[in-house]
Amino acid sequence: MTRDDVTEPGVSVVRGMKAAYALAWQACPGMLLLQLVTAVIGGMAPVATAWLTKIALDEITAPAPRAGALVWMAAGIGVLGIAMAAASAITNYAQGRARRAIGLHSQDRLFDAVNRMSGLARLEEPRFHDRLRLAQQSAEHAPDQLVQMGLSTLQGTLGIAGFLGTLVAINPVMTGVALAAAAPAMIAHLTLGRRRAGLMWRTSPGMRRKIFYQMLLTDLQAAKEVRLFGLGSFLHGRMLTELRAANSAEDRLERGVVRVQVFLAVLGALLSAAGLLWAVHAAATRTISVGDVSVFIASLAGLQSGLSVLVQGIAMGHQSALVFHHYLTVVGVRDDLAAPSQPRELAPLAGSIELRDVWFRYGEDSPWVLRGLNLTIPYGTSLAVVGLNGAGKSTLVKLLCRFYDPQRGSVLWDGVDIRDVPVAQLRQRIGAVFQDYMDYDLTAAENIGLGDLEAIDDPDRILAAADRAGVHETVERLPNGYQTLLSRVFHAGEEEDDEEGARTSGVHLSGGQWQRLALARGLMRQGRDLMILDEPSSGLDAVAEAAVHDRLRELRAGSTSVLVSHRLSAVRRADRIVVVQDGQILESGDHASLTASPDSVYARLFRTQAEGYQEDPASSAGNVVGPLPGESGAVPTSVAGG
């Protein structure tokens, strides 16, 4: 995230209000208008009631009260009461509907913006996650709060204006005092609002860590290690530490709030008492009428409560605007991959894919992972990439998919820089199985079909992909076949709870079975221009791995593919094998040529792996290309780590 994107909270309330009203207008214009009408009624009716009451009291205390006029006054007061009650009920209804509609619309926009980020870099920024968390929170509430603040400001202002006029007519001094008393309240509430928003920003990293510890405590995947290593209390303790730190910061703030509130309450009470004393004294000396006393007291109370509501509303709105700023920032954040200014069409691959002098590192302060790497993958050939852990193999693959852009150099697709074509078009042409594949808590069919959304409802395509990945029989044997929910955390259906209160849960597969499903998902895209297989078989048993690689070899024949694997038995038949080391291609050739020179890194890796399968490693030392267990069904274990 660039500096522009990360301004500290401090934006104007006006910008937040404008954005919130725009959202509300798009989400539910009718409810917004309805609330506007009820706010006007709610603001003006109390003032009108106070005036009618004054006129009625003056009439009652007049030497010859007119009964007809009194009836009209009473009727007027009654109608105003009904209007206020109805407005309040309608406001509640309209607020509820608006809140839901605005929440839906704002979350829709937020996740649309998150989806628009086509690379991975943004999602790897802790600061972005802090902001995203606050954006998610504020997407639910802040726009609605800002809209409500605007409406209550309107309602409050109308009421205040009415009461203010009345007070000025009766006692200008008292009016000035009441208004002056509102100024410190306004400043105090605005300061508190800013402090609250600042606190939320500062505690966001801690709260995310708290959520992380909570998640570990409840996550099924983490449960084995958490239990075996006895991590429960440790994680629990850390979770509480984060929560306590946030709580104590909040407590400090709240103590300040109480002090301010007590001060303001005392000030208000003193003002009311002074006003009451003056009014009673003035009525006793006949300076003002009984009706004046009534409207004065009502106006002073109305002004005070109106000002207090207004001030608090503005302060809350201010705070919401500060938090809403995170939402607006995320919604407006730029894609982490620059879109081409003049996009070019990506034709089907016909020549080659080339990485030309590619330099890449994950951050400005990180070490270079790829250092001027040059590599050509001719159309229709299979390439295998090998190297030690951390050599940069997966990074290379990620650059081919344009999850990141290289800092220097370029990735060319038939000579076209992939930065010049729409990224979605590029990815349409690629099929992939990643090392860190996903297990989706969805049905088996969906887990496979996600590989090609257009075919997610096509059982034949799904079955064919499962068959190619060697997982069809496994899926068929599941309780509901392809429609079996693969999850232990979601209910498999809407069945009633059983006697123990448990519902039927889905099925969970073994690690290797999940991996084969991931492979099937990747194979839904068979026939695309480039097939990427990043450690597609690391979790498979020896027989399955050999079978999968045999099958993959068939599928890759004649098509362009990149296989990253530590299993050298799997890569040996690739048209070309490259060894990545220190961010460059160290060696390149086919299996025979690479093993022909016994000192090559590839030959040593191969030898080390093969020796692991000899009964007496000493007797096989130096046997570079001896028979491989993989060829007789067994497969060497990973050489990961060297």
Ligand X SMILES: Nc1ncnc2c1ncn2[C@@H]1O[C@H](COP(=O)(O)OP(=O)(O)OP(=O)(O)O)[C@@H](O)[C@H]1O
- CA–CA gap between residue 444 and residue 457 (Å, rounded): 12
- Shortest Å, Cβ 126 to ligand X: 12
| Angle value at C-alpha 5, between 419 and 436, nearest 5 degrees | 55
- Shortest Å, Cβ 398 to ligand X: 7
Is 146 among the residues that bind ligand X (CB under 6 A)?
no
The conformational region for residue 637 under phi > 0 = left, psi -120 to 50 = alpha, else beta, is beta
Q: Which is nearer to ligand X, 346 or 531 (CB)?
A: 531
Among the residue ranges 346-354, 393-401, 423-431, 450-458, the one whose residues contact ligand X (CB under 6 A): 393-401
Is 638 among the residues that bind ligand X (CB under 6 A)?
no
- Shortest Å, Cβ 350 to ligand X: 29
- Shortest Å, Cβ 358 to ligand X: 13
Of 389, 407, 623, 637, the one binding ligand X by CB under 6 A:
389
Query: DSSP H helical segments within 219-366, as ranges?
Result: 220-228, 232-284, 290-331
- CA–CA gap between residue 242 and residue 247 (Å, rounded): 9
The answer to whether 431 and 410 are in contact (CB under 8 A) is no
- CA–CA gap between residue 401 and residue 8 (Å, rounded): 34
Is 359 among the residues that bind ligand X (CB under 6 A)?
no
Is 565 among the residues that bind ligand X (CB under 6 A)?
no
Of 106, 395, 513, 537, the one binding ligand X by CB under 6 A:
395
Q: Which is nearer to ligand X, 336 or 452 (CB)?
A: 336
Q: Which is nearer to ligand X, 345 or 364 (CB)?
A: 364
| Angle value at C-alpha 122, between 116 and 126, nearest 5 degrees | 135
- Shortest Å, Cβ 359 to ligand X: 13
Is 124 among the residues that bind ligand X (CB under 6 A)?
yes
Among the residue ranges 58-66, 103-111, 274-282, 386-394, the one whose residues contact ligand X (CB under 6 A): 386-394
Is 26 among the residues that bind ligand X (CB under 6 A)?
no
Nearest to 194 by CA among 150, 103, 256, 268: 256
Q: Which is nearer to ligand X, 200 or 563 (CB)?
A: 563
Residue 361 Cα distances to 120, 158, 366, 369, 581, angstroms: 13, 60, 6, 5, 15
Token digits of residue 63:
């030497």
For residue 377, list its beta bridge partners.
353
Is 362 among the residues that bind ligand X (CB under 6 A)?
yes
Nearest to 319 by CA among 17, 642, 638: 17
- Shortest Å, Cβ 119 to ligand X: 11
Is 153 among the residues that bind ligand X (CB under 6 A)?
no
Token digits of residue 514:
């999940």
Q: Which is nearer to ligand X, 163 or 360 (CB)?
A: 360
- Shortest Å, Cβ 463 to ligand X: 31
- Shortest Å, Cβ 370 to ligand X: 9
- Shortest Å, Cβ 122 to ligand X: 12
- CA–CA gap between residue 629 and residue 610 (Å, rounded): 8
Of 73, 207, 391, 465, the one binding ligand X by CB under 6 A:
391
- CA–CA gap between residue 411 and residue 418 (Å, rounded): 6
- Shortest Å, Cβ 590 to ligand X: 21
Nearest to 276 by CA among 304, 250, 251, 308: 304
Nearest to 209 by CA among 235, 231, 232: 235
Other CB atoms closer than 10 Å to residue 136's CB: what's the count?
17
Q: Which is nearer to ligand X, 326 or 566 (CB)?
A: 566
Token digits of residue 356:
């030309």
**Which x/- pattern, by CB under 6 A, does the window 67-86 give for ligand X?**
--------------------
Number of H helices, E strands in the chain: 19, 10
Residue 394 Cα distances to 118, 332, 413, angstroms: 18, 31, 19
Q: Show contacts with ligand X in window 299-338 (CB under 6 A).
A: none
Q: Which is nearer to ligand X, 36 or 121 (CB)?
A: 121
Q: What number of CA atoms fall less than 13 Å from residue 322's CA on the CB side?
A: 21
Among the residue ranges 42-50, 157-165, 383-391, 445-453, the one whose residues contact ligand X (CB under 6 A): 383-391
H/E stretch holding 383? strand 382-386
Binding residues for ligand X, how many (CB under 6 A)?
A: 13
Q: Which is nearer to ligand X, 63 or 642 (CB)?
A: 642
Q: Which residues contact 484 (CB under 8 A, 6 or more apart)?
A: 443, 444, 475, 478, 492, 506, 507
Is 159 among the residues that bind ligand X (CB under 6 A)?
no
- Shortest Å, Cβ 392 to ligand X: 4
Of 164, 295, 369, 578, the one binding ligand X by CB under 6 A:
369
Residue 256 Cα distances to 192, 196, 225, 379, angstroms: 8, 11, 44, 69
Is 196 among the residues that bind ligand X (CB under 6 A)?
no
Q: Which is nearer to ligand X, 47 or 391 (CB)?
A: 391
- Shortest Å, Cβ 125 to ligand X: 10
Of 46, 392, 431, 630, the one binding ligand X by CB under 6 A:
392
- CA–CA gap between residue 270 and residue 277 (Å, rounded): 11
Q: Which is nearer to ligand X, 393 or 472 (CB)?
A: 393
Is 394 among the residues that bind ligand X (CB under 6 A)?
yes
- Shortest Å, Cβ 113 to ligand X: 22
- CA–CA gap between residue 621 and residue 142 (Å, rounded): 70
Q: Which is nearer to ligand X, 181 or 369 (CB)?
A: 369
Q: Show contacts with ligand X in window 427-466 (CB under 6 A).
A: 435
- CA–CA gap between residue 432 and residue 534 (Å, rounded): 8
Chain contacts with ligand X (rule: CB under 6 A): 124, 362, 366, 369, 387, 389-395, 435
